[in-house]
Amino acid sequence: MENTLYDELLQEIFQKLPSSSSSSVSLVCKRWLNLYRSSRTSLSLLLPPHLSSSLIPSLFSFLSHHPFLSCLSLSSSSSSSSSSSSSSSSSSSSLSPLLLSVISFSCSHLLSLKFMVGPVSFSSLFSLSTFCPQLTSLCVSLSRPIFLKWILRFPCLKELSIFLCDDDGSLRNWEHEVLESNDFDTELGLESICLVGIRGDDYGVGWLWRSCTKLKRLQLQCCQGIGSSYSCFIKCLQGLQEVELRTCRSVVDGVLFELAEHSHSLKSLLVYDGGSREGLLQFFSQCRSKVLKLDLRLPLDLNNDHLLAIAANFRGLVSLRLQSSCLVTGEGLKALGIAMGNGLQELSLVNCDVVEREPGLLATLGQHLRQLRKLDLSHNEMLLSKEFVSMLVSCIHLVDLRVRGCKALTGAAMVSMLRSCKRLENVDIMHCFGIESEAIEYFLKNSCRLRRMEVEGNKLSDAAKMWASNKFIEVVV
């Protein structure tokens, strides 16, 4: 059999194998090992926390056996060990140029690279651009001061992620003068940008904002500034479709104000952990884009006034995710339900105590939101089966249902899922301590379209495993 299979056929088979079984292929024989390596187009490597120069030849040899890699992720486990973080960080910083050079020489077909071993030098980036000019996605860590003109050496780049590292700040003023006074404008092809860790006194990003006229997706994480004036920032907003602001309290209001004023294409907005109530209310009231998705985790900032503004101004909303919304009440959620009518397809109320606090709320929402396809009520620990069931009666089109961490739910909830939600394909009941193995077995046996379930392994009886196997249901434990 082994001799009748051509190399090309074996490689095609290897590419179609699931990751759980593909690793055993290399153990069959040397021929299979070589073919398996040559068929790999994607690799993710986790390097040891204490790096040494002896690793370089080993990495070069390993990568040379994977000649057709198009996607590579390289990271270090040093971040998981706080006790050795300083020594590991200095080791990573000194070796990262060598590691990036190895990648440049070994992986000439790369399209996507995530390099999170340590900050990279500009000379290493120039070398990478020479040997991998077709890169479309790049994720790197840079030291301050911010200098970004090297992006011009990657003409195919569409996605860029930059993590900024600490420095002594000695060159920051010089960098500001060079980049902000330099009126050199160009047009970059970037469609997605993620910037992590911009400080309030960082500069040098203004050129990037002015040059990204095709930007569709923007992510800011742990930022105290935007790296330039807002007059530069608004240059990239016209075609922006997706925005994520995570832990950026210092700049959230400013960014949202400019979005409401200058962006007319915004379709998706995520805001986590930061923002003033007034700034948020102004955006929800004045935004002129037809926003389809809202994802908000604002425990102490979001209240009913914001929900009422969303209900009045975002009637085309398709997806609404609220997490840890401590200040909202049933009044605001009911107003949303009435306004969204049959349009809302995804609703998430994760760790929102109003779900447990106000009896009858879920039943009312279910009656208004009859076209829901995805529902997430995870981590509402005191949610009772009676309240949950009262909503499912109306949500007959659900495909995806998540109640992870809802400890008070019982087997009655599983029975109701079967009776009311006959189109369910994905279910997450992990850490629902009130749901026992008998209910899970009954559900797996009688479900019609289920394709995936997340549940603890100790709740799966032999019969439940048999039903899952016979019906090709993926069980994630």
The pLDDT tens digits of the residues spanning 198-244 come to: 999 998 999 999 999 999 999 999 999 999 999 999 999 999 999 99
326: Cβ contacts below 8 Å, ≥ 6 apart: 299, 300, 352, 353
The secondary element (H helix, E strand) that includes residue 32 is helix 30-39
Query: 305-340 pLDDT, tens per residue?
Result: 999 999 999 999 999 999 999 999 999 999 999 999
Q: Are 293 and 267 in contact (CB under 8 A)?
A: yes
pLDDT at 343 over 70: yes
**Helices of type H across 234-326:** 249-262, 277-286, 304-313
Instruction: Tell me the backbone φ, ψ of residue 269, rounded to 5 degrees.
Output: -135, 130
Q: Could you tell me which of 445, 455, 391 has the C-alpha nearest to residue 420?
A: 391
pLDDT above 70: residue 185: no
> For residues 178 and 199, what is the distance between their CA atoms, to the nearest angstrom?
18
**Binning pLDDT at 50, 70 and 90, where does residue 5 land?**
low
Percent of the chain with pLDDT over 70: 85
CB neighbour burial string for 366-388, b if at least 16 within 10 angstroms, e if fewer: bebbeebbbbbbbbbeebbbebb
Contact 74, 117 (CB under 8 A): yes
Of 236, 217, 232, 235, the C-alpha closest to 158 is 217
Average pLDDT of span 283-296: 96
Report residue 206 as tokens: 């203004």
Under a CB-based contact definition with an 8 Å cutoff, are residues 169 and 202 in contact?
no
Q: What gap in Å lies between CA 460 and CA 287, rounded to an integer?
A: 49
In the three-class reduction of DSSP (H, G, I as helix; E, B as strand; rest coil), residue 319 is classed as strand
Q: What is the pLDDT of residue 157?
A: 97
pTM of this structure: 0.88
Contacts of 9 (CB under 8 A, 6+ apart): none
Q: For the chain, how long is the longest CA-to-CA vector?
A: 71
Give the distance, in angstroms, between the CA of residue 274 and the centroid of all CA atoms in the same chain: 18
* Amino acid identity at 322: L
